[in-house]
């Protein structure tokens, strides 16, 4: 399962009004904005949780928040992985161009 499929399978945990937005962001591969959207939904859900008094509603909301946090972790992990990859590519290109200086103490 590729990352887009995995993230797409987790989108139903988001509020209905944000699912299509999230899907569009996923299709555009705008993972940073997607992470921000998920984070915003988590904050809203936590705020709403504080207003609930029914035990079943509280438990259901906590599960949904947990699922959204799992989605956020998957998205953020992908972002971090991509950033590390491009950072390594930047270092590799500097090495190939001869623009990378070594610290004498390391070698």
What is the tens place of the pLDDT at every residue in 5-64?
999 999 999 999 999 999 999 999 999 999 999 999 999 999 999 888 899 999 999 999
pTM summary value = 0.75
pLDDT digits (tens, 9 = 90+) for 54-100: 999 999 999 999 999 999 999 999 898 887 776 666 555 555 555 55
| Burial call 16-27: b when 16+ CB within 10 Å, e when fewer | eebeeebeebbe
pLDDT of amino acid 2: 85
pLDDT of amino acid 98: 56
pLDDT of amino acid 40: 97
Q: How far apart are CA 65 and CA 54, in angstroms?
A: 16
pLDDT of amino acid 72: 96
Residues 6+ apart with CB under 8 A from 49: 58, 61, 62, 65
CB neighbours (10 Å) of residue 106?
A: 5
CB neighbours (10 Å) of residue 49?
A: 15
């Amino acid at each position: 399962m590729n990352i887009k499929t995995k993230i797409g399978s987790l989108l139903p945990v988001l509020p209905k009004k944000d699912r299509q937005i999230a899907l569009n962001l996923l299709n555009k591969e705008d993972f940073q904005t997607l992470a921000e959207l998920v984070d915003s939904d988590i904050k809203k859900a936590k705020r709403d949780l504080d207003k609930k008094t029914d035990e079943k509603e509280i438990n259901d909301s906590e599960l949904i928040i947990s699922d959204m946090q799992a989605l956020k972790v998957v998205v953020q992990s992908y972002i971090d992985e991509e950033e590390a990859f491009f950072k390594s590519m930047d270092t590799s290109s500097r090495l190939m161009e001869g623009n990378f200086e070594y610290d004498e103490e390391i070698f």
